[in-house]
A and B are shown apart, each in its own frame.
Chain A
Amino acid sequence: MITQETSTLVSILDPLRGAFYDTREPPDCLSDLNLDQLIETVTGPKQDYTLKPYFWSPLENTEAIRYRQEVMKDLERPSLLSRIKEFAEKMSVVHRYLRMVEKLDYPYHRKGWILEGILLYTEAVETLCGALQHEPIRSEGFLSFRGWLEKYFTSEEFQYLSAEARRLKESLASLRYCVLIDGGKVKVKRYEGEADYSVEVENTFEKFRQGQVESYLIKYPERTGMNHVEGKILELVAKLYPTPFAELDAFVSSREQFLDPTLLAFEREIQFYISYLDLILELKQKGYPFCYPALSATDKDTFVREGFDLTLAATLLKEGKVVVRNDFSLSGAERVLVVTGPNQGGKTTFARMVGQLHYLASLGLPVPGREARLFLVDRIFTHFERREEVATHRGKLEDDLLRIHAMLLQASPRSLFILNEIFTSTTLQDAVFLSKKIITQLLEKDALCVWVTFLDELASLSEKTVSMVAQVDPADPTIRTFQVVRKPADGLSYALSLAHKYRLTYEQIRERLP
């Protein structure tokens, strides 16, 4: 178990604080599995947080995974989620102020906005701290963060920051000054109790109001920024009231970096969870199931019920369609799922789904499905036939083999292979030969694999292979159900089924002709 240290740094992403996530490149498998699209969708609205590196860094041990799953479970509670979102909203405004400050010219204008930033920041921290006290938190991640936050909040430094900022704001806001505008001349003096003239004029002319006359008041738009006239006036106001402005000077100049790094890290890291949650909540509303997988780093027994391709589900959502869910399992010596069946039948989608589930699980996220038991893989290798690239026949085969060979060299018994329709453009003889060789090597490695192929014989190679077949409608083989089920390969190829439908198999023709 991870012990809670009393240091000031905690991370909501990792029990071992200080874990680095500066992965610059996505893992290779992401584009074949369409996870790059998914990550794009998830991180798109949150550009400012630079979340991709988190999604590019799978975890390597089950404790870290459990840590994240627990945090996610806490976050799925709407009240906590909304509080965190509130906090994030305020922080983003603080950042906006600070960005704006860089473009301002007048010193007291700048300092005024820095003060606003500090005020909002301290308010956000205070509110979050209070909110977390009332939330029933169970995850270690949140518990340690809450503990840290409390310490931060109650620290002398922070309390002073907050109280002094407020005091300064009040004292500045209580200032009132007079501006006399006479042609091009401006005089500034302290306010000394001059009465509101508008009210007096209004009262005098009240009796001339009968019936409804439209008001002449026009709406003044909110002005942003300060011009040279106002800047000058502000300067003079500072002269009129030197004390509060001097205090502002002193306060701000020593606190240009008032944002706590641990809090900033939290602000960013929590968005990893929130951005993913936003996506799956939408899908949950449409009835898709999600679950927290049980992960093992040692036991390769696998079981998934009602899994589905998350990227496809998100895409189809916009069109109002749903994606089909499938089950699969591996037990005992089983290692390779061999998937056969008609073209466009959902085999590739199924293969992607398996890859996605393992990857997302290794990020510590809830996965698409009703129930899942998965092995924690160390790496996912994918090879998807790319039909668009038409190199010469022989050149392509060589490239493919080189790639697969490289993958096998790098693989470990804890790796996962997703092979989709390889060797389709070579001769049948070669395909059979090569496939058998490759699968043997895979089985020796004891790696996990999903292999989509047209070669039925692979499916029944040994007790380590599992045959899965994409189903068609028994009444009409042209209709795909996209269900992939565990059963022996058909033997009957799709093409022949079609022929059968049109009564063009050999026997049928013989019968038909006289």
Chain B
Amino acid sequence: MQITEPQVTFETAKKLGLTQDEFDKIKSILGRVPNFTELSIFSVMWSEHCSYKNSITYLKKLPREGKRLLVEAGEENAGLVDIGDGLACAFKIESHNHPSAIEPYQGAATGVGGIHRDIFTMGARPIAALNSLRFGNIDLKHTRHLVKGVVSGIGNYGNCFGVPTVGGEVYFNDCYNQNILVNAMSVGIVKVGETVSAVADGPGNPIFIVGSATGKDGIHGATFASADLTEDSADDLPAVQVGDPFQEKLLLEASLEAIKTGAVVGMQDMGAAGITCSCSEMSAKSGTGMLVDLDKVPTRQANMKPFEILLSESQERMLIIGEKGKEHLLEAVFEKWDLECEIIGEVTDTGHIEFMQNGVRVAHVPSEPLVLGGGAPVYQRAYAEPAYVAELKKFNAASIAVPTDFVATAKQLFAAPNIVSKRWVYEQYDSMVRTNSMSTNKPSDAALVRVKGSEKALAVTTDCNSAYVYADPYVGAMIAVSEAARNIVCSGGEPVAITNCLNFGNPYDTGVYWQFVHALKGMGEACEKFNTPVTGGNVSFYNQSIVKQADGSTTTEPVFPTPTIGMLGILDHFSQQMTMDFKAENDIIYLLGETKEDINCSEYLRTVHQVPFSPAPHFDLAEEFKVQKAVKELIAAKLIQSAHDISEGGLFVTLTESAMVNGFGFRVQTEASIRKDAYLFGENQSRVVVSVTPAQQAAFEAALAKTGINSTKLGEVFGTDIEIDAENYGPIKDWKHSYDHTLANKIEVN
């Protein structure tokens, strides 16, 4: 395909996703009409993906300060948290939704590669990865194709790169049928004071491009990510990049070695909008400029146009500002690792980024107006409560008949794709490389990762029940933060900070924007309560699935608002680890927190009664905080043997999951005052199941009484069968078999 550079008019700008106002603003910044290359630079830098123009106002309202934070949110490529002992943790979550919807394998793979680069570009070594995946209806062949592609893309990239995938979540819902969500998180460790910033200080310093050669892949990827997917999106295949994890592994080792030479002034990876984004962000941050000769950029093919080189999103590349006079130190490192390393220009004091090709200046643009926090546009969109909200409030639980056969109902619920083990997925990921994974042999609600060279461990988790957020964005987002914190607390950790991946529909839809505004409000309040500031993350708008209408036409519908929370927790000593499994026969089982008569928004309602929409489950932030505080105290006092929170599927699923790890059964009683389906399958929040030995029961009950929270003695670990209200539900091994194998059977049908 021959691409020529057209004359620039508003029509050109519109095709690149810019509005009339934005086009006018560009002309006034430059004092002239931009050429096509310059227009391309503005279009990607001002795309939603790079500029956060429709979200930044609300992102700034989130709590972003805390005594542990070493960089401010958005200041560097990832958040940086002081974990003590002279160590810091860099962590971030990011979406790669649209590329994965079109080309699942490469889309997911490059999502993993991109987020790891954000971590090691700061000088931190990635030690753990997580991911949050949302797919459509599992019974659709298209969904299974996407699941297989995404999982093998994440697996092959992460496995080869050598960072364990230690946790994550997988959900299925029709709303994601075309527009799946692939959110990848990386967690790295660096010594405090040894980090590298994304700066371009020191006019005269050389600019290196290192890693892979630049090709035509991913051009306008950032713009592509900032528009709705359509049926023609498959034609946008060149906007999807191709990943090379081996190259990334070399780039990781070489980059960390290069930092040790002391010759690195600044470093930023090339992600969305490629060279353009790195050059403008780094120079804007330092108040400098850059002069870059595009002829020096190693390319994969001849005769690439300036805009193609500038916008290419070829993977596994870094921009490094070196110290003048020490070029040879950097070149030696990259030669050792057999990686490309070229000086393509130098830092200037002009405040402009200038690009040359064949001796001609092909673009000349001031950096500051390009970037977020500089002159990039900022919008607040109109919003209004969408009609569905009033509609789903009409749900009346009394209209749902209590089941007569609870064993059959439990079996049906326990086989739901959202409940069953995701073993088929995670066994394709190397979860143990780097030998820090403490949860392999001792499972807990959050993944625990030992930090070598210290006595600490990290507790990490991703959480978001998007059905709750759809039902009530404000409460749903609070629950997402609370559940993440609860998982960390139940694992023995102290929650310290979050990163977020805000997946929403089209922001120009007033209903979507209403979801966005309210979800961020709830998220902010919960983060305040748990003292877990937001360190960074990513916004992904335009997640819309295609819906065929009766007349054959198609429209798009926003996916459920999905503000995924990636939370970091710390265990000051790894021996504080708490696990979720029942440990011994006759241990006594307690429920901490209060069970309500509440089946709202439960997996039970969706799976067993086919009620897709209902209000969010009961939640009270103060109550949640008290329960978590109590669990922390009981763990610290060494008074419990296991802790597992109640989430999707309710109490029944929590008990069964705790029991089946070691093959124990249990016998428990429900309360006659609450309808039994609500008691067993309801999802009212702020509840944790713990077990205690008979020997510690008295001390436990005394300590529990002091916490002032509600609690119930449910029963005991007993035998090898499940027994509820004296009714036998069968051997635990049968439940485990169904739990372990259902997903594989559903996915591998063809």
A binds B: no
Query: Which A residues form the contact surface with B (CB < 8 A)?
Result: none
Query: Which B residues form the contact surface with A (CB < 8 A)?
Result: none
